[in-house]
Structure 1
Amino acid sequence: MSPGGRVEAATERVGEIITDRPRTVIIAFLLLTAVFAGGMTQVSTSSGSTDSFTEDLPEQQALDDINEKFQGPFETDSETTQLIHEGDDVLTRQALLEMLSVLERVDQQDDLWMSSANGPAPAIAQAIDPTATTPAEQQRVIRHASDRELRSAIRALSERPSFERTLSDDFNSREAAASASITVITHDPPEGADEMQRVQTTIQSMADDADGSIHTLGSGIIDAEFSNVIGDSMSLVMPVVMVLLLTFLVIAYRDPIDLVLGLIALVMTIIWTFGFLGFAGIPFDQMMISVPVLLLAVGVDFGIHIINRYREETIDGTEPIPSMRLALGQLLVAFVIVTATTVFGFGANVVSDLAPIRRMGMAASVGIVFTFLIFGLFLPPAKIESDRFRERYNVPAFNSTPIASEDSGLGRMLAVPARISDRAPAMIVLAILVLAAVVGGYGAGVDNTFDTDDFLPPEEQPGYVDYLPASMTPADYTVTETVNIIEDRFATAESESVMIYVEGPFERAHALTALTAPNEDPPESFAVGPHGEASARSIVTVIQSYADQNPQFGELVERSDLNGDGIPDQNLERIYDELMASPYADSADDYLTEDRRAAKVSYTVDSEASQDEIATDASRLAEDFRYSATATGETIIFAAVSDLIYESAIQGLVLAIGLSALFLVLTYTILERKPMLGIVNVFPIIVAVIVLLATMRALGMSLNALTATILSISIGVGIAYSVHVTHRYTDEIGGGMESREALLTTLTGTGGALAGSMATTSLGTGALTLAISPILGDFGFLMALSVFYSFVASMTVLPPALQLWARWETIVG
């Protein structure tokens, strides 16, 4: 027996088992569903923060070293909480007392583990009375100090860069006024404690109760909002998806019993997939929200094809069992092909260097296999048993006709490409290739980015939230607003996003000269000084600032400067010792480690420069340092992740296309001995992806952490449309039809089911645009476009390609 014959025999055997023992099959699937339901209780939720994308990056490791070894008001970790105070003037007596009142409440609650607080209010109080070490004592100092004492303390502290950096850009030392400040609470939790989310949300509540406007920021709050955005997005998206799917299932099935069967199969798919996540220990994060939506959409596709194909046979008077066997004989092979190619599309993301993308690819791939098993092996026997129930109790059949036929308006419209392509398929295919090349060249310029803002909820909730019932109203989100305040009001926060971490012996002669030499002729995006030099802050600028304030120290620096460039070349150990004993000690700690073996240089960069330009220039600048140097900071790290995202997108796309094409070539060689059909099958979906990329560029959308997966996913989801068309076409050809007639039958029959599937899938995935997270909204919109493009390509690009293939087969055959 030929390979194709063996496949056909195996398919018939599966069809016989399903139709001969429907109840046994149903019971087996229900038992498995009960098992997977147990796994659902073990599903954990991950915040899905950007940390999971930056793990193991050299740039992130350098930033971790900086955060560990240097002190600074804008570096935060899991043991610090930032309080951002804004108002007309946060240095008034009342504003200082408001901040100290919050700190006192935190200090009084032992389970918040406050060990210290650094910010303008504590600093001013201790400048007046150094013995005031607790928030309560500092309040008394501020309350009883005269206005003159307060102003004098602020002016004295303004000479310290570390104090100035805790205040907003509009800080006026002469007027002793500023519109915003940052106070950092340091926590000392017990070993093994992991409750910063509870700690920081409690502090947030205390700050909200204060009279002034005090915002709270910390890793625990960020994680909490990341988690909330998952729950809120699911609660908004899934009901809409279900309503849309239900609406289109009603239109597609037009029969309540068939509708219920389809819904049961969809629910089972979700239970199996979530159960797998629980058993496998895969966390559910923002990236995963798209998975159940995709599975529901693909499941609807399978369900519509099963029911529609079955109806095509029964409407001609064929008995139910033979009709189902015939439908399964034609569809099971197509389902296997679709499942395999979809797994290739989704699974291609498993090769990504980014863990969240890998997890999503694995979960989606397994979910697609479950979808095939449930809709391919469970739904048919459930349909048989439901028809028996209908017959036994005389339940009316309602409308059991196929979605489209040759005589219907939809059928006639779907058949147009078959009629047009019959005339000059070679010219049409050539025109499509030329157009695709032009569009592809444009789409290749699509941008790629990575930013925390992609994952955070918007600062203002979308307008439709006002009309939601109370049970569906999203939580209040504050992180985005707080982050924007820091970026807008504090220059230091923005400029320190680009840093160079330098390792070397900084007590050696000329060490500081080596630290500043690269700044004289920096790359373009760093040349922001008045004479084209870099604007940098380092231990050198701290030394120079203190030298300007202290004549005695200035003389030491001048004596140690051998070449007159203002940078000491000797006596560095003594200079460091005196600096550490001065009011500038905190600032020195920002830029030089205690063992003097590592230094940090912070740069201001051109605000007009792109992320890629800054990252490239930072890498070049790091190479100019005499000592070992690594460029880091948020901009650099995000640029590195952005590059990985782009690489993952291209790798995933190439892998998805390559594996799908290879599989289809082998499949059609085995089944039909026509390997070129595999290439023809992939052709329209490649065109669809090219058009999708061009659309993204035209709309100003970029490839980010989630939308980058759209390319390989588009192959996985979209190829199902061309597979169904090609498989039905070859079946009709095998039955003796000519190519044109086979295409007409395929496009009016299978094309109708595909139209229904496209509508449900597009609107189902498009419902993600309602998600609170912007990145999910973009993904849903692009996914809907991808499905629509794939359907259109399968109905317009594939017919002339099939016609051309048929004529080629006639010539060579």
Structure 2
Amino acid sequence: MRWWLQTMARAVERRPGITLTFLAVMTVVLGGFAAGQTTDTELTSFAPDSELADAFDRIQEDFATGGARVQVVVDAGPGGNVLDPAGIEAAEQVEAVVRASDTPLADGPRGVASFAAAVQADGVSPAAASLLSRDLDPATATARAGLVVVELDPALPDADAQEATLELAEQLEVVDVAGIDVDPFGTAILSDALQAESEDEMPRLLSLSLFLIVAILFLQFRTVSDVVLGFVGLIVTITWMFGFAVVLGPDNLGLVGNFTQISTIVPVLLIGLGIDYAIHLTSRYREEQRHGLTPPDAAAMAVRTVGGALVLATLTTVVGFLTNLVSPLPPIADFGVFTAVGVTSALVVMTLLVPSARRLLDDRPRALARATRRRRRERSGTNGLAAFMGRTAAVAERAPRLTLAIALVVTVVAGGAGSQIETSFSQDDFVPADSEPGMLIDKLDTLFGGDLSESTFVLIDGDVTDAELAGAIAEAPELLAGVEDVRAQGGAAQVSRLPDTGPDVAALMIATTAGQDRAEALAGDLDAALAPIRDAGGSTTVVSESLVLDETLDALTASQTQGIAITLLGALTLLIAYFGVVERKPLLGAITMVPSIAVVGWVLGTMVLLDISFNVLTAMVASLAIGIGVPFGIHVTHRFMEDRRRYDTIDEAIRQTVTHTGGAMAGSAATTAAGFGVLAFASLLPMQQFGIIVAVTIVYSLLASVLIQPSCLKLWGEWRVRRGEQAELHEHEERRVLEPVG
């Protein structure tokens, strides 16, 4: 690591122009790749690798489950009757548009099934009843809403089916009947709407995040060039992350999947984390200038001193996020990779960009004059934020044991409460309730009891050519007729046998209305009702998309404790090894981890207090608490060891550490909290909760780093002094006089 820092320091000191050119070329190349970034909104991408998920894949890949379906809701509104002439006219217009279009339809009556076509002169037929809302009154032939179900040609590739669905939805906009609402709905329509929502929302969140960060940076630095450099560094970092994500993605190296709805928060995350590097480098550069160093020397010194802490912070942050690789959910594992790549990019970009640019900007005569005037102003004391943070050192100086005792009690109580956190995973959370698809889903649930295209499958393994087993399979509609949440028509369940793909396997497709809430109960009922098939020699596996999502929830729950333990152990091992090898003081690694361990307990307790459950986003809070908190701890320990060598007493070293590093961390915490906090304005509930809890985590990490860790370091330092240890200056260091605080 020392060699790498020396190389970086020489680059920014001697060849800043070449260094900036290198960054520009890399940004252009990776920007070209970044242009190909796409987002996958399919919720089945969260499915873990399991027998149930494999069975669902077999159904989808080996059997012709039918083409993509579009459900066109024809709604007469509250108090209206879709069976009146206006409703029938609207349904006929829908069917006419579908048949006049170029949309490839399934053969026969499956192509278009309309409630209007099944209405008879003497009443409502069973076929029409299955396509009418639950408030249907057969006696008076009244119902608020009906469906026209369009099924596309099953032979269409997924991409073509999606395009055809979207084109059909656009063509249906011409249907216009007074008093009747016509709304097409389908998987492709939902995915397209969510994609558009994400593309509209992310720039808004990024813009708000960047605005807050720029404002905070300006208040801290009060120099436009420092703010611009931090801003440019963030743009370059995000460009690199997107570029590397595409290079690693399925269209190139195939090591990760596409971006998902979870991954879209990575840019916001990088704004918060990446600016931390710019703040620490700039603060240290200004400090070295205040002590009389020229711009080239100050730039090199900032890299040599702060750079070591940044590298170690990056390593532990990467470890924290890469622990998501053990998650059984692919999008969470990919999220860890994308974030790790982004944080590493931030280290390289900021460590080269900020000192190199400052070295060129401040080496001009006019800039040198300004630096001299600024140095004279600042020699009388530190800035307001640093001075305020310096005063908190009194807690560690005067009552370290009491501070640690209080922290221990709070951590134990909060951690105990955190053990009661519930876990939730609902696909509805990823559809904004106030969006058009969200409101349409609610309408389908209210009027029809859910999505009428919902299907539950039964995979049957065995000799399906055997007469007894074939007979049992043929009786499935009667066997399932009385099962709750199974759609029935004419006294028999709506069950169809999918075309066989071989003599040893068969599959049934059942029309159901269980949704995700009752999917598991439905599976149990179906399994019990299908006992005659098993008695005849077949084995049955009940599977559906909702069951796979339920299994995802179980996998998410099981991975929580494992993820927290692996994250803590990985970061602790890395820190103990580093401080043991570099400083010959492995105990410092454990001390550096103390605040993060406390923060994990505090955050879990706060989640219980705020009634926030574990979901696919908040499940990563443990790795985030460590990924964000450990860098704070590293900065404190790294600076304390330096100040311990430069100043006469432990208290002086603690005070200077909390003043300078604490001030930089406070600015960093403010910008990072702002970066994450804007997610509270996201349209998706999981993102809102994620933004809130991460902002809380950052505040807790700052408090723990300036209160708990200095207390630990004071006790450790005094213990080392009692043992007769004397700290010796490193080669590039010099003794300093204690600076006034305030």
TM-score range, shorter chain: 0.7 to 0.9
Q: Offset of 1:749 from its aligned partner?
A: 0.9
Is 1:33 the counterpart of 2:22 in the alignment? no
Is 1:712 the counterpart of 2:712 in the alignment? no
Q: In structure 1, which of residues 491, 494, 500 is the aligned counterpart of residue 449 of structure 2?
A: 491
| SS of the residue 1:194 aligns to | helix
1:82 corresponds to which letter in structure 2? Answer: Q
Change in 2 beyond 3 A, CA 1:330/1:653 = same
Is 1:105 the counterpart of 2:97 in the alignment? yes
Counterpart position of 2:711: 800
- Which stretch shifts more, 774-783 or 494-503? 494-503
Change in 2 beyond 3 A, CA 1:174/1:112 = same
Change in 2 beyond 3 A, CA 1:79/1:517 = closer
How far apart, in 2, do the equivalents of 1:31 and 1:802 lie?
A: 44
Counterpart position of 1:328: 303
Q: Once the two structures are superposed, what CA deviation does each residue of 1:200-238 show, in whole Å capped at 9, x if it has no partner?
A: 233323433322212111121122112112211222111
Change in 2 beyond 3 A, CA 1:191/1:592 = closer
Counterpart position of 2:38: 45
Counterpart position of 1:233: 201
1:177 corresponds to which letter in structure 2? Answer: T
Counterpart position of 2:494: 587
Q: Once the two structures are superposed, what CA deviation does each residue of 1:500-551 show, in whole Å capped at 9, x if it has no partner?
A: 76666696399599989999xxxxxxxxxxxxxx954779x87xx65xxxxx
| SS of the residue 1:181 aligns to | strand
Change in 2 beyond 3 A, CA 1:184/1:718 = same
Q: Is the 8 A contact 2:75 2:181 kept in 1?
A: yes
Is 1:164 the counterpart of 2:129 in the alignment? yes
Change in 2 beyond 3 A, CA 1:122/1:50 = closer
Counterpart position of 2:159: 194
Is 1:81 the counterpart of 2:66 in the alignment? no
Q: Once the two structures are superposed, what CA deviation does each residue of 1:377-405 show, in whole Å capped at 9, x if it has no partner?
A: 23212111110136379678886799999
| SS of the residue 1:15 aligns to | helix
Q: Offset of 1:334 from its aligned partner?
A: 0.3
Q: Offset of 1:293 from its aligned partner?
A: 1.5
2:213 corresponds to which letter in structure 1? Answer: L
| SS of the residue 1:171 aligns to | coil
Counterpart position of 2:321: 346
Change in 2 beyond 3 A, CA 1:238/1:151 = same
Counterpart position of 2:172: 207
| SS of the residue 2:74 aligns to | strand
Counterpart position of 2:236: 268
How far apart, in 2, do the equivalents of 1:693 and 1:775 lie?
A: 16
How far apart, in 2, do the equivalents of 1:620 and 1:402 lie?
A: 79
| SS of the residue 1:214 aligns to | strand
Counterpart position of 2:727: none
Change in 2 beyond 3 A, CA 1:401/1:649 = farther
Q: Offset of 1:745 from its aligned partner?
A: 0.8
How far apart, in 2, do the equivalents of 1:409 and 1:654 lie?
A: 39
TM-score of the pair, normalised by structure 1: 0.77
Q: Is the 8 A contact 1:403 1:753 kept in 2?
A: no
Counterpart position of 2:419: 444
How far apart, in 2, do the equivalents of 1:499 and 1:192 lie?
A: 21
Change in 2 beyond 3 A, CA 1:64/1:479 = farther
| SS of the residue 2:72 aligns to | strand
TM-score of the pair, normalised by structure 2: 0.84
| SS of the residue 1:422 aligns to | helix
| SS of the residue 1:170 aligns to | coil
Counterpart position of 1:22: 16
- Which stretch shifts more, 778-787 or 492-501? 492-501
Q: Is the 8 A contact 1:417 1:796 kept in 2?
A: yes
Q: Is the 8 A contact 1:536 1:601 kept in 2?
A: no
Q: Offset of 1:412 from its aligned partner?
A: 4.8
- Which stretch shifts more, 222-231 or 184-193? 184-193
Is 1:218 the counterpart of 2:186 in the alignment? yes
Counterpart position of 1:754: 665
Counterpart position of 2:694: 783
| SS of the residue 1:797 aligns to | helix
1:795 corresponds to which letter in structure 2? Answer: V
Q: Offset of 1:742 from its aligned partner?
A: 1.2
The number of aligned residues is: 702
Q: Which is greater in Rg?
A: 1
Is 1:183 the counterpart of 2:148 in the alignment? yes
Counterpart position of 1:566: none
1:28 corresponds to which letter in structure 2? Answer: F
Change in 2 beyond 3 A, CA 1:266/1:729 = same
Q: Offset of 1:643 from its aligned partner?
A: 1.9
Is 1:312 the counterpart of 2:287 in the alignment? yes
Q: Is the 8 A contact 2:115 2:147 kept in 1?
A: no
Counterpart position of 2:737: none
How far apart, in 1, do the equivalents of 2:526 and 2:103 lie?
A: 44
Q: Is the 8 A contact 2:452 2:512 kept in 1?
A: no
Q: Once the two structures are superposed, what CA deviation does each residue of 1:446-500 show, in whole Å capped at 9, x if it has no partner?
A: 12122222222x232xxxxxxxxxxxxxxxx422122112222223759978877
Question: Percent identity at matched positions?
Answer: 27
2:137 corresponds to which letter in structure 1? Answer: N
Pairwise CA RMSD: 3.9
Q: Is the 8 A contact 1:622 1:629 kept in 2?
A: no
Change in 2 beyond 3 A, CA 1:124/1:404 = farther
2:302 corresponds to which letter in structure 1? Answer: A
Q: Is the 8 A contact 1:500 1:600 kept in 2?
A: yes
2:496 corresponds to which letter in structure 1? Answer: D
Q: Is the 8 A contact 2:495 2:511 kept in 1?
A: no
2:32 corresponds to which letter in structure 1? Answer: G
Counterpart position of 2:571: 660
Q: Offset of 1:373 from its aligned partner?
A: 0.7
Q: Is the 8 A contact 2:9 2:304 kept in 1?
A: yes
Counterpart position of 2:593: 682
Q: Once the two structures are superposed, what CA deviation does each residue of 1:271-317 show, in whole Å capped at 9, x if it has no partner?
A: 22222223333533322222112222222111111111111121233
Q: Offset of 1:601 from its aligned partner?
A: 7.4
- Which stretch shifts more, 248-257 or 313-322? 313-322
How is 1:631-646 mapped onto 2 (pairs within 5 angstroms)?
631-646=542-557
Counterpart position of 1:429: 404
Q: Is the 8 A contact 1:120 1:181 kept in 2?
A: no
- Which stretch shifts more, 111-120 or 408-417? 111-120
How is 1:111-122 mapped onto 2 (pairs within 5 angstroms)?
111=103, 113=105, 115=107, 122=114
Change in 2 beyond 3 A, CA 1:767/1:89 = same
Change in 2 beyond 3 A, CA 1:426/1:717 = same
Q: Is the 8 A contact 2:47 2:548 kept in 1?
A: yes
Q: Once the two structures are superposed, what CA deviation does each residue of 1:17-39 show, in whole Å capped at 9, x if it has no partner?
A: 43122222222222222222222
Q: Is the 8 A contact 2:455 2:509 kept in 1?
A: no
Q: Offset of 1:727 from its aligned partner?
A: 0.8
Give unpaired runs (5+ residues) of structure 1: 1-6, 128-149, 461-476, 520-533, 547-583
Q: Is the 8 A contact 2:66 2:153 kept in 1?
A: no
Q: Is the 8 A contact 2:395 2:403 kept in 1?
A: no
How far apart, in 2, do the equivalents of 1:704 and 1:53 lie?
A: 12
Q: Once the two structures are superposed, what CA deviation does each residue of 1:162-196 show, in whole Å capped at 9, x if it has no partner?
A: 54332221111111121122221111276547233
- Which stretch shifts more, 619-628 or 173-182? 619-628
How far apart, in 2, do the equivalents of 1:272 and 1:718 lie?
A: 24
Counterpart position of 1:771: 682
How far apart, in 2, do the equivalents of 1:681 and 1:694 lie?
A: 22
1:435 corresponds to which letter in structure 2? Answer: V
Is 1:459 the counterpart of 2:459 in the alignment? no
How far apart, in 2, do the equivalents of 1:124 and 1:70 lie?
A: 31
How far apart, in 1, do the equivalents of 2:54 and 2:444 lie?
A: 24
Change in 2 beyond 3 A, CA 1:78/1:379 = farther
How far apart, in 2, do the equivalents of 1:488 and 1:303 lie?
A: 52
Q: Offset of 1:333 from its aligned partner?
A: 0.7
